[in-house]
Structure 1
Amino acid sequence: MYLLQAENTEQLNQALRVNMLEFNTQHFDAERQAIGFKYLDKQHELVAGISGHVFGNWLLISWLWCAESARGNGLADSLLTSLENAAIEMGAVKAQLDTLDFQAKPFYEKRGYQVKYQLNNYPLSGTRYFMEKPLVAAK
């Protein structure tokens, strides 16, 4: 017999994540390898960063953020280039990310990413874009 309980905690979220990753690992022939880069200011405070995973032959980009005060200096472009190049060295041949309509879709499109799927009315009136790009080693 099982007891159903309501629980809206980060602890439950984390426990479910750990259990799902453990289950999935049994069925995948690849491991997730964390990858990321950051920029710090003179006070060693984070001003921009990017992170994700190489999973098999895919670069899965999780986060790209740049402080408002540091925008327009090419940091995001440099971070994305660094991440893509490092992922290629780790065996990635494609990259995948998602972004929202008020975020960086035009930035990613300029970098060769194409929308493969979009969720309209997300979460209510916006759009969430899922984008991919083939990775090519720099010459």
Structure 2
Amino acid sequence: MYQLKSDDSADLNNQLREHIVAFNAAHFNAERIPVGFKFVNKQNSVVAGIHGQVFGNWLLISWLWCDDKTRGKGLATRLLAELESKAKALGANTAQLDTLDFQAKPFYENNGYLVKYEMRNYPLDGCRYFMEKSL
């Protein structure tokens, strides 16, 4: 007999994620290769960075962040180009990311990304864009 219990914990989330990742790994013939770059200041603090993973033919971009003081200096464009270049060298031929309406959609469009799907009213009255680019 099984008992249903409410559990909103991060621990349950992590357990379920581990089970799904293990299940999926048995069905994928590609490894996940982390890729990332950063700019640091004189104090070695991160002022801009990008991170993602190459998964088979795909570059999956997770994060691109620039400190307010570094915006408009071309760092994000350089980070994106470096990540794409490294991903291509690792076998990726398509890049994928998502961004919110108040974030960087125009930046990504200026760098060749196209909106493939819009999640409207996210989470209430905004929009989340899923974008891709051929590398």
What's the TM-score, normalizing by structure 1? 0.94
Partner residue, 2:31 = 31
Q: Residue 69 of structure 1: CA displacement?
A: 1.3
Aligned CA RMSD, in angstroms, stands at 0.8
Partner residue, 1:81 = 81
| 1:20-53 alpha-carbon deviations (Å, 9 max, x no partner) | 1100011111111111111111111111111111
Q: Residue 18 of structure 1: CA displacement?
A: 1.2
Q: How far apart in 2 are the matches of 1:116 and 1:29? A: 25
Find the residue that maps to 1:119 and give its secondary structure. strand
Q: List gaps (5 residues or longer) in structure 2.
A: none
Corresponding letter in the other structure for 1:114:
L
Q: Residue 126 of structure 1: CA displacement?
A: 0.3
Q: How far apart in 1 are the matches of 2:67 and 2:15? A: 32
Q: How does 1:39-50 map to 2 (within 5 A)?
A: 39-50=39-50
Q: How far apart in 1 are the matches of 2:7 and 2:36? A: 33
| 1:93-133 alpha-carbon deviations (Å, 9 max, x no partner) | 00000000000000000110000000000000000000000
Aligned structure 1 segments of 4 or more residues deviating by more than 3 angstroms: none
Q: Residue 7 of structure 1: CA displacement?
A: 1.6
Q: How far apart in 2 are the matches of 1:121 and 1:25? A: 33
Corresponding letter in the other structure for 2:100:
L
Find the residue that maps to 2:112 and give its secondary structure. coil
Q: List gaps (5 residues or longer) in structure 1.
A: none
Q: How far apart in 2 are the matches of 1:67 and 1:99? A: 17
